[in-house]
Amino acid sequence: MIAISLETLLKVTGGETLANKERLSFRGIEYDSRQIKGGELFVALKGETTHGHQFVRAALDQGAALCLVEEREIFAGQPESSRLVFVPDTLQAFWTLASYWRDKLGTPIAAVTGSVGKTTVKEIAACILLKHSRGAYSRKSFNNQVGVPYSLCALAPEHQWGVLELGMNHPGEIKLLSKIVKPDVAVVTAIAPAHMEFFNSLADIADAKLEILEGLRAGGTLVVNGDDPELVAGLSRSAESDFDLQRYGQKAGSDLQIKAVNQESEEAIEFALDGVVSIPDLRLNLLGGHN
């Protein structure tokens, strides 16, 4: 991340500060004080059992340039107050800052979601792209309301692409994340009975995954598993919007059809692709037809 001035941070988040607006800036964002290397913005987020406010002093001692916090009164009179930016909700401010950074860079981004397979697809896509150019992708399974903006803020001007993973366990989460990421390409892998305690049916899960369309840029591309009946049905329920639909799968009529699948090897799967891209001989060093 290039340096962002305190003045810009205040404009983007609507925050307030006692700090010297003309002299301070930050480079990079962390929400774990232990990861501070020097010069970053520390975002004090509320966790399940603790609040990031408890680690503000540690973050500054580690070299954080500024800290984003919520409760002004608990820092009143403290020496670190001159390095703090106060906002009503640090998580909301984090989302806003990540969205600003995404717009500023304009880097092409693919976002991947689905009940299963999203981490595998993200990793394979990134591996292929890294053979040709520099880019960034979600670390591990950083796919929630904290991990996605964190991954987005890790994009740098020299990156030519980003591949991010979007996860959920409640309706509305993919919509929120997609509107932050604003992907150029959205991928939905498959629908399965995950997090059923929060959904009434597989159809509800499909609709929630297809919320990724809410943030897809106009003229962007939606890539879906055309062999998944829940996804196909979900698309028929989706509102009309401006995107290019690409279906992949083994069924005839897929935009990218998977053919001649050979799973006899104990080391890899062999197959061919036909359609928008035609490749007669492919080998994937993963086992299982689901891959």
pLDDT, tens digit, for every residue of 60-87? 999 999 999 998 888 877 878 889 999 9
Query: Rounded mean pLDDT of the chain?
Result: 91
Read off the pLDDT of each residue in 260-282 and give the average, rounded to a whole number: 79
Report the CATH fold assignment for 106-249.
Answer: UDP-N-acetylmuramoyl-L-alanine:D-glutamate ligase (3.40.1190)
Q: What is the CA radius of gyration of the chain?
A: 21
CATH number of this structure's domain 4-96: 3.40.1390.10
pLDDT tens readout for residues 141-172 = 799 999 999 999 999 999 999 999 999 999 99
For the chain, give every domain's residue range. Answer: 4-96, 106-249
Angle at alpha carbon of residue 241, lines to 238 and 242, rounded to 5°: 145
Lowest average pLDDT, out of 15-29, 163-177, 272-286, goes to: 272-286
Question: For position 197, what pLDDT does the model report?
Answer: 85
pLDDT tens readout for residues 217-228 = 999 999 999 999
CA 35 – CA 38 distance, rounded (Å):
9
More confident residue, 239 or 18: 18
